[in-house]
Structure 1
Amino acid sequence: MHYDYVIVGAGSAGCVLAARLSEDPGVTVALIEAGGQDAKKEFRIPAGFPSLFKTEADWDFSTTEQEALAGRELYWPRGRVLGGSSSLNAMMWVRGTKEDYDDWEVPGWSYDEVLPYFQRAERRVGSNAGGVYGSEGPLNIEEQRDPNVTTRAFLKACDELGYRRLDELNGPSNEGYALTPVTQKKGRRWSTYDAFLKPVLGRPNLTVITDVLVSRVLIEDGRAVGVVHGGQEVRAAREVVLCAGAVGSPHLLMLSGIGDPEHLAEHGIDVVRPLPAVGRNLQDHLSIGVFRRCPRKVTLAGAETVGNLLKYLSLRKGPFTSNVGEAVAFLRSDEALPAPDLELIFAPVPFIRHGLEKEAAKEEGITIGVILLQPDSVGSLTLASADPADPPRIDAAYLTGESDLKRLVFGIREAEKLMNARALEEYAGENYPPYPGSESDELLEKHVRENSETLYHPVGTCHMGVEETSVVDPELRVRGVRGLRVADVSIMPRVNRGHTHAPAVMIGEKAADLIRG
């Protein structure tokens, strides 16, 4: 099989890139995805996303034992399906701040330079104060259709504490509070597969190959000429582009002989291009929950009723439209910081262990998740073996940064103030386990170590830069290998002060222009 471009990974960036490159009828594009179709109804119903975790649509990764987190191995869900993680995430469209992109200090990637790519993708439905969003792109960005009454109370609590109300969350600064804009269309999930790829599947120059695990990039005389899967080759006359994410892209580079020579030698892999930075610079957002019982029957606990299902199917209203993380607030742990380093996410349900605690999901309760947006901790991803089917070793090195634990405790105390605000007094009852209360910093530190989880935002493992030690250059070309690029969140030099779905889409949009020249 021969094509002009071969793209590996049909996720948030890969779907965008395949759709854009195939706009040119003079080129042929192959998009290869390890997973399959988004056939289950849970892909459509927003509130159903936790039920997709640990299914065939999920890579179901785990970290190594995290010493600073009581030796726990943390579960990392990642999408193994058309649309990638955009098909099983919480649909929150949160770009980050101006400082995020300016601080990368990479030519072509400042905030003002990437903003048009966000807007090119966006189709804002609802308010668009100041023209923050694009209005004609494929990806619907909607208002919450039916926010829970406790979510409205949370917003009032934020106002009560003096937080700034944001007319639009995705402006240059996100400091303040707002309802979460969501990637939905008329109350159903709108993944990058829905928005970008599905409408163009009929193009004769676009081939989508599913349920195929790529084992390595085929490199001849220093040039990427295709990929290999199951002993078969898919050839690329122009370029191979990896869009396999912060786990998949570095894993595939190493399997292809691109990485730290000593590490590759340990697994008997011949070195094609020594590039020690591959797999390093891993960053992620760590989250810890503050949970309270709710004395009133108003939360998402009773959502699964026939009446609510009929309400969703007929009107696209009710609790099934919820993305769970219905509102957010961004704040600084230190006024001297240039931008927020903490996020508070409100959920009208006890969202414990990724929503996999089924009994907790049936309890009337509320959650404020505290997220560390700018961790000092930096981890790494390495090979477990030379077998492509073996997942890599993921060491996120959580809480190894000097200030991380202290700032999370600060965030918990802010969450407690909100829980105790007048606006939430009829909804925030006693503490709900495993949250122990905030009697002392020591108790809160123990809670963080024993109960924190990922917010699903790993980045940085193929980081971009102007320095020769970076994995990719500012045009996303892998250093020292012609015809090979990486275009996903693994190229981000620093994790953003937001969520990573939006920048993944932006990277896919910008990569298309870089490739087309």
Structure 2
Amino acid sequence: MEYDYVIVGAGSAGCVLAARLSEDPGVTVALIEAGGPDKKMEIHIPAAFPKVFKTAYDWNYTTSKQAELAGRELYWPRGRVLGGSSSINAMMWVRGVREDYDGWEVPGWSYDEVLPYFQKAEKRIGSNTGGVYGTDGPLHVEEQRSPNVTTLAFLKACEELGYTRLDELNGPTNEGFSITPVTQKKGRRWSAHDAYLKPNLSRPNLTVITDKQVSKVLVEDGRATGVLAGSQEIDARREVILSAGAIGSPQLLMLSGIGAPDLLAEHGIDLVHAAPQVGEHLEDHLSVGVMRQCPQKVTLSGADNPLNLAKYLLFKKGPFSTNVGEAVVFLKSDPALEAPDLELIFAPGPFVNHGLDEPTGEGVTVGVVLLQPDSIGRITLASADAAVHPVLEPAYLTGESDLKRLLFGMHAAEKLLASAAMKDYVGEPYAPYPGDADEDALEQHVRANSETLYHPVGTCHMGTAETSVVDPDLRVRGIAGLRVADASIMPRINRGHTHAPSVMIGEKAADLIKNP
């Protein structure tokens, strides 16, 4: 089987690339996904996303033991399905800010240069003050359809405490508060698969191959010529493009002999090209929950009932339409900072263990997120077998200031929950949160209960230096005909979420390929 372009991974960037490259009827495109179709009903019902975790639609990764997090191994859900993680995420469309992209200091990737690609993707339904969003793209970005009463109270609390109400969350700065815009279409999840792939499946030049895990990029005389998927060779006349994500893309490069020579030798992999930075520069957003009981039966606890399901199925409204993270506040731990380094996400329910644990009562959660961690980790191989998960070493809280800033965010969350606006909805601490106790108790809570916010990036980082894994055109250094286009190329994690920039990267990558 031979195609002009072979794309590995049908996630947020891969679906974009498949759609954009196949716009040219003169080229052939193959998109290969390790998972299958998005048939599971819970994928499409917004509030049900935790029910997809640890199923066949999830890679179900686990980190190494984290010394600064009480020796815990953290669970990392990642989508193994058409749409990738955009099919199992919380649908929050949060781009990040000007300082993120300008701070990359990579030609062609400044804020002003990437903004058109965000807008090209977006089909904003609802508020669009100042033309912040695009309106003609395939990816629907809509308002929350049925925000919870506690969410509306939380927004009033933000105003009460003097935070700035943002006209639009996704402007060039995000310091302040907003209800969360979501990637939904009329109350239904609208993944990258829904937006980019499904409408174009009838194109004769686009082939989508599911349930096939790529184990190797084939390289001859310094050029990528195709991939090995199972026992099948799939050849690429022009390019192989890896969009397998911040875990899958570096793993695949290393399995293909592109990586640190010592590591490859350790696993008996023949060296094709020495690239010591593959798998390095791993960054992620760490989050810890500030949770309080709610004295009223108004939260998402107990909302999973036949009446609410019927309301959703008939009208696409009610608790089943929620993305759970209904409102956000972006703030600085130090006023001297150029942009916010903390995010507070309000959930109108107790969100414990990734939502996998059933609530034991009514409650609300403020997730405190460290946006600009000092902690830098890495991904390495555990085996030369592609079926064996790589070793994930995020090195949480090894950065000097990370814990201090998380504690600052927890105090800020408590002040919001203690506001007059929230008094009717906030009671005693909801276990395992100890309440606004002494610093030692809060520190113990962080170490024992913090979790990923599902945003790993940076493991095939882009740059102008010869040591970077990919160049500003996303070409893998040292190998012709091979690019990486996904969150792994980000030189620094953004002060937002990673679905939006992954889509942007897919849009820009397609442009770079079509217009060299």
Alignment partner, residue 293 of structure 2: 293
Alignment partner, residue 201 of structure 1: 201
State the AA in 1 paired with 2:330. Answer: F
Contact 1:349–1:363 (CA<8 Å) still a contact in 2?
no
* Structure 1 unaligned blocks of 5 or more: none
Residue by residue over 1:182-202, the C-alpha shift from the partner in whole angstroms, topping out at 9 and shown as x without a partner, is 000000000000000000000
Inter-partner Cα distance in structure 2 for 1:317 and 1:509: 31
State the AA in 2 paired with 1:87. Answer: S
Residue by residue over 1:82-125, the C-alpha shift from the partner in whole angstroms, topping out at 9 and shown as x without a partner, is 00000000000000000000000000000000000000000000
State the AA in 2 paired with 1:397. Answer: A
Secondary structure of 1:413 counterpart: helix
Return the offset for 1:453.
0.1
Alignment partner, residue 248 of structure 1: 248
Alignment partner, residue 463 of structure 1: 461
TM-score by length of 1: 0.99
Inter-partner Cα distance in structure 2 for 1:510 and 1:326: 29
Residue by residue over 1:123-155, the C-alpha shift from the partner in whole angstroms, topping out at 9 and shown as x without a partner, is 000010000000000000000000000000000
Inter-partner Cα distance in structure 2 for 1:506 and 1:306: 38
Alignment partner, residue 151 of structure 1: 151
Find runs of 4+ consecutive structure 1 residues off by over 2 angstroms: none
Question: How is 1:75-474 mapped onto 2 (pairs within 5 angstroms)?
Answer: 75-358=75-358, 360=359, 363-474=361-472
Residue by residue over 1:255-311, the C-alpha shift from the partner in whole angstroms, topping out at 9 and shown as x without a partner, is 000000001000000000000000000000000000100000000112112211111
Q: Which moved more, 1:49-58 or 1:429-438?
A: 429-438
Inter-partner Cα distance in structure 1 for 2:112 and 2:300: 39
Alignment partner, residue 484 of structure 2: 486
Inter-partner Cα distance in structure 2 for 1:308 and 1:444: 36
Inter-partner Cα distance in structure 1 for 2:451 and 2:108: 34
Give the CA RMSD over aligned residues.
0.5
Residue by residue over 1:348-379, the C-alpha shift from the partner in whole angstroms, topping out at 9 and shown as x without a partner, is 11001100112x2x521000000000000000
Secondary structure of 2:116 counterpart: helix
* Structure 2 unaligned blocks of 5 or more: none
Q: Is 1:51 aligned to 2:43, yes or no?
A: no
Residue by residue over 1:159-190, the C-alpha shift from the partner in whole angstroms, topping out at 9 and shown as x without a partner, is 00000000100000010000000000000000
Secondary structure of 2:159 counterpart: helix
Return the offset for 1:44.
1.1
Contact 1:19–1:196 (CA<8 Å) still a contact in 2?
yes
Contact 1:11–1:86 (CA<8 Å) still a contact in 2?
yes
Inter-partner Cα distance in structure 2 for 1:179 and 1:394: 33
Residue by residue over 1:463-502, the C-alpha shift from the partner in whole angstroms, topping out at 9 and shown as x without a partner, is 0000000000000000000000000000000000000000
Inter-partner Cα distance in structure 2 for 1:439 and 1:123: 45
Inter-partner Cα distance in structure 2 for 1:438 and 1:426: 18
Alignment partner, residue 500 of structure 1: 498
Inter-partner Cα distance in structure 1 for 2:10 and 2:472: 22
Inter-partner Cα distance in structure 1 for 2:370 and 2:313: 37
Alignment partner, residue 20 of structure 2: 20
Inter-partner Cα distance in structure 2 for 1:54 and 1:363: 24
Inter-partner Cα distance in structure 2 for 1:160 and 1:414: 13
Percentage of matched positions with identical amino acids: 73
Return the offset for 1:439.
2.0
Return the offset for 1:231.
2.0
